[in-house]
Structure 1
Amino acid sequence: MLDLAHSISEKRARDVMTTPVVTIGPDETARAAAEAMLRLRVSGLPVVDAEGRPLGVVSEGDFRFADAATRQRQREAWVKILSGGQDMAGEYLDTLDREAETVRQIMARPALSVDEDAPVSEVGDLMGAHRVKRILVLRAGAVVGVVTRADLLRFFAPEEPAPSRPVTPEVFDAARQEARFRLKQLKRAEAAPPAAPKIPEGGATAAELKAMVNQFEQSKSRVKDDAQRQAKEKRDELVKELLASRFSDQELAHLMTLAREAARRGETGVAALTFPTALCTDGGRAINLPDPQWPATLQGKAADFFLRWDKDLRPLGFALSARIATFPDGFPGDAELSLVWGR
């Protein structure tokens, strides 16, 4: 019983609807609606606009006749055809033409509908409250299916044989109440607090272990943040120092010694100065492009070295190259100026 109730609680209108569903437009003739219902052996059709949005429902009870005798005679013809007879009385359809020209004139409105994600229990409550035989099912506002009393009865009471006659409101309400009772039992069973699990000696719950992992991650994050903060502070101090310093004669002499050693190893250049891109007015963007005007962005010691190269080393045939040496987190980090002598 609880398994069935659980199924009811999870199912949606799309799970029980009949689809695809035949619809009819509001400007179709009543005769066309009657012919469609007779051919499909259904007692009603959804009426929709050009976008498939519901406007109403036309059913057997919406067709009217001139007098009681004619109504009874046509009713018998209707029942005969729906129960399997093949004769379609022309007089019956002619009477429809005289009584109403379009579906719009005879349809019931508004059409009761639900979204395809509506719970089955909600569909049953709506059908019971309004005493209707069918509910339209919508997707993005358009009709995609229909749920009838018989559809829900098969769902609420699957152990009962399929009814051979139309489902009466009384039969439907009884099945719906039984399903509601089962749902209440299910909710009471699910609401009962589960027995507390016994933790083995020295063991722990998954929640406790998860908390330990979270503490570790938070600690690691704090260590990383502290390291980044300290590195930034150190870098800021270096930038201040480089802004105020110059490329000395001793450094130039040391650079020439490095150049000789590199040449003996067959190398054609040597790194002369590495500095944070914060020393550049544009954060190293011109060097990274590269832009021929990159020397104009240099400041402090980097600018002073460029002037020393231009004055003392360029006349000796040395070239100067610049590049971004590091890219922390994808952004320019350190720039490098190199003395180049070629081959």
Structure 2
Amino acid sequence: MLDIVGSSGEKRARDVMTSPVSGVGPDESARAAAETMLRLGVSGLPVLDPQGRPLGVVSEGDFRFADSAMHKKLREDWVNLLAGGQDMAANYLDALEREADKVRQIMAKPALCVDEDASVADVADLMSAHRVKRIFVLRDGIVVGVVTRADLLRLFAPEERPQARPVTPEVFDAARQRAQARLKKLKAEKAPPPEPEIPAGGVTAAELKAMVGEFERAKAQVQHDAIRQAHEKRGELVKELLTARYDDKEMAQLMMLAREAARRGETGVVALTFPAALCDDGGRAINLPDRDWPASLRGKAADFFLRWDKELRPLGFALSARIANFPDGFPGDAELTLVWGS
């Protein structure tokens, strides 16, 4: 697709990648990761297990989760929440005082990867669709290289001179579209083959293929609209939950559900389901799981935790948290479960 002069279309990820690629381990400090990025002059690194398999990616934007200013604001939010006379749980204060100093606490996952045999066109499409700066290259599941926007820009739009300025998504997409247009023009200039004669009432494979393509485009548009509407609805729900509280009526309903569950021989009941986006880290701490996951809660989820800590924990109830689903590979909904058995 990006074969402007008849060569780049044959290239594979292994032909344009930078190799080897430096990475960091999940238990290295965020500071060490930042120092490595500065030393190498890169804006992101893969997070690798001891065998070199990708666990995630840490980039400049991820360091906002370890930013001290945000840390201070979270603490102030909790203090304001508890100003109404409630006792602050000691483990909350402890968690808020600890900095997110491990790479696993700030990395994004999964990391976008392709096999080394993937075409340059597929790499470019994936990079454009996800609006990312880099795609890691795998060989037998091990990270062996990285392809950046600048690598592809040099391949199909050398006039952009990516070394002179940052390769923004807009610059990358514009160059990619120009490359596709030039290829289309070259193909159009070739003499078309003679048209075959079609019997009366007949149809060509190309016409049927076009019909299938139109169906797939319509189907993709419906899916796109559904995803967009779901995201908008989810965003509105998060806004509502940020200011909502877990009231006495809901607590009474939870106790009734707990009794019914116990009669059925069950040892726990879901107390609250909410979008993982309600957590200040998007649900990462719950998904790891991190023992400090309560400090990531906000709004109604945080209010329920405090009520459990003050009212239900003294009665012997435990509380667990988990990510219930992973749409598109990312945390979707989180659940807080009230537990009274093993």
TM-score of the two chains, using structure 1 as the length reference:
0.45
Larger Rg: 1
TM-score of the two chains, using structure 2 as the length reference:
0.45
